[in-house]
Amino acid sequence: MTYTLKPADPYDLTIEDTSYLSEHVDTGDRWVLNFGPQHPATHTTLRLVLELDGERVARVTPHIGYLHSGFEKLGETMDYNQYVTIVSRMDYLGPILSDVCWHLAVEKLFGIDLTPRCKVLRTIMSELARIQNHLLCVGAAALDLGAFTGFLYAFNPREKIHDICDFVSGQRFHSDWTRVGGAMADLPDEAVFKRMVSDFVNDDLPRALDDMEKLVLRNRIFLDRTMGIGVMSKDEAIEWSLSGPLARASGVRRDLRKDEPYLCFADNWDGQGASAVEFKVPVASAGDVYSRFCVRVAEIRESIKIINQLIDNIPGGPIDMFSDGKQVKPPKAEVYGSIEGLIQHFELIMSNRGWTAPVGEVYGCNESANGELGYYIVGDGKARPWRVATRPPSFINYQAMAKMTEGHLLSDVVAILGSINIVAGELDR
């Protein structure tokens, strides 16, 4: 059954009541079932109104807004550094990815070029966050489909990523680690960091991935429940503007790390002709739920390669840009030691001074774990943005939920929802 919105009143506010829905179906007695907003398999708070014909899903109406927290509006009252604390609460499965994306967009607005050290560290941390997100997605899918053990094997290595974040920034989860033109602080101890990261990516993670592949991805029950479910063809994926693993599982060859390279994914990132990090973009063609999980696991393996290329040659030098010094917070030694540093420090923090952002608008985007994550910033020359808008991958991918689900069994809804990996913080902003 194809998905048709009632054309006369697409914004019908009485969509909630059943008569509206049942008026819309041709025959028979159908059931209307509310899935969520409080259901463990929705992972977060979202609601699907399912119209069932027996056990088949005839129509799906996705609802959003249950976790709306005004994040975008808050962007207008916070300065370019403070807002990172909000951004990292949007995609809370891999918070550093959002942090990095936000500050890359801000730096695009300000025209700041980062130091090589900062680029490398940001790349490493954001790949770790990508791994963190994918592990949760695959693990939680296993949990939803009844394989509790697979979930635990995915969560064990996630714990290590939290430890690394804790070491680098002081908080395990919401690191809020990036700052305009640099990071909150340099690594406390580079040798320890290197050991922690390379132990993790070369020892714990591959073993966990092997276990997960054996236990989940080659599991007959899992395959039976995910193969051929929620298929999106390549053309449909483009039409619905899907991005990230969802699009790549349908055969769309798009990855912003290759298409619009940033950080260490771009050639000549250190200004001395270094070549971009090498990795491959996993692309499947089936477009079903199973291939999405396979793409995610393959992406974790590619992230391991990226981290291994960078971890042994982190360039020295400062992590913060402190060149002409009007836009970046000076180091503490400078604040205590020189009057210029102190003045600069006060200027940036005081509410009536702060940044003089260029007047203009930018859109900066990154390949986050779920797809294209972008921030659109309008600066009006003041310390705070005039407007901040987010392009969250979850939101765009979620619109295809109805299309993917219709015609499938009720139990497949959970599998499809798990494969989109919706993060409601980002969905509802």
**Shortest spacing between CB 85 and other proteins, in angstroms:** 5
Q: Is 171 in the site for other proteins (CB under 8 A)?
A: yes
Interface residue with other proteins among 50, 106, 121, 294 (CB under 8 A) is 294
- The residue range among 11-19, 80-88, 129-137, 411-419 that interacts with other proteins, by the rule CB under 8 A, is 80-88
Interface residue with other proteins among 91, 127, 144, 255 (CB under 8 A) is 255
**Shortest spacing between CB 126 and other proteins, in angstroms:** 19
Interface residue with other proteins among 174, 234, 382, 387 (CB under 8 A) is 174
CA 127 – CA 325 distance, rounded (Å): 30
Q: Which structure tokens are listed for 118?
A: 């900062």
Q: Is 343 in the site for other proteins (CB under 8 A)?
A: no
Residue 60 or 311 with smaller CB distance to other proteins: 311
**Shortest spacing between CB 290 and other proteins, in angstroms:** 6
Q: Is 359 in the site for other proteins (CB under 8 A)?
A: no
Pick the closest to residue 35 from 420, 392, 421, 405 (CA basis). Answer: 405
Q: What is the DSSP string of 159-194?
A: HHHHHHHHHHHS-SS----EETTEESS--S-HHHHH
46, 424 contact by CB (below 8 A): yes
- The residue range among 32-40, 124-132, 133-141, 152-160 that interacts with other proteins, by the rule CB under 8 A, is 152-160
- Nearest-5° Cα angle at 124, 122 to 127: 105
CA 204 – CA 199 distance, rounded (Å): 7
Q: Which structure tokens are listed for 95?
A: 């918070």
Contacts (Cβ under 8 Å, ≥6 apart) of 112: 180, 181, 321, 327, 328
Distance, C-alpha 381 to centroid of its chain: 29
Q: Is 295 in the site for other proteins (CB under 8 A)?
A: yes
> What residues pair up with 62 in beta bridges, in sequence order?
48
Q: Is 339 in the site for other proteins (CB under 8 A)?
A: no
DSSP SS3 for 103: helix
ω into 157 cis (within 30 of 0): no
Question: What is the residue whose two structure tokens read 């790349």?
Answer: 123
**Shortest spacing between CB 102 and other proteins, in angstroms:** 13
| Burial (0-12, 13-18, 19+ Cβ within 10 Å), 167 | middle
Interface residue with other proteins among 15, 41, 215, 314 (CB under 8 A) is 215
Interface residue with other proteins among 156, 202, 309, 356 (CB under 8 A) is 156
One-letter amino acid at 217 equals: L
Interface residue with other proteins among 184, 388, 401, 417 (CB under 8 A) is 184
Q: Which structure tokens are listed for 30?
A: 């159908």
Q: Is 298 in the site for other proteins (CB under 8 A)?
A: yes
364, 112 contact by CB (below 8 A): no
Interface residue with other proteins among 45, 98, 132, 169 (CB under 8 A) is 169
Alpha-carbon torsion (219, 220, 222, 223), positive or negative: positive
Please give the helix or strand (H or E) that residue 233 lies within, else none.
none
Count of residues near other proteins by CB under 8 A: 64
CA 21 – CA 85 distance, rounded (Å): 41
Q: Is 214 in the site for other proteins (CB under 8 A)?
A: yes
- The residue range among 19-27, 216-224, 370-378, 413-421 that interacts with other proteins, by the rule CB under 8 A, is 216-224
Residue 12 or 166 with smaller CB distance to other proteins: 166
Q: Is 60 in the site for other proteins (CB under 8 A)?
A: no
CA 50 – CA 31 distance, rounded (Å): 8
Q: Is 81 in the site for other proteins (CB under 8 A)?
A: yes
- The residue range among 99-107, 182-190, 384-392, 403-411 that interacts with other proteins, by the rule CB under 8 A, is 182-190
92, 101 contact by CB (below 8 A): no
Interface residue with other proteins among 190, 223, 267, 399 (CB under 8 A) is 223
User: Which positions touch other proteins (CB under 8 A)?
Assistant: 78, 81-83, 85-86, 149, 153, 156, 159-160, 163, 166-171, 174, 176, 184-185, 188, 192, 195-196, 199, 211, 214-215, 218-220, 223, 227, 253-255, 258-259, 279-286, 288, 290-291, 294-295, 298, 302, 329, 335-336, 342, 345-346, 349-351
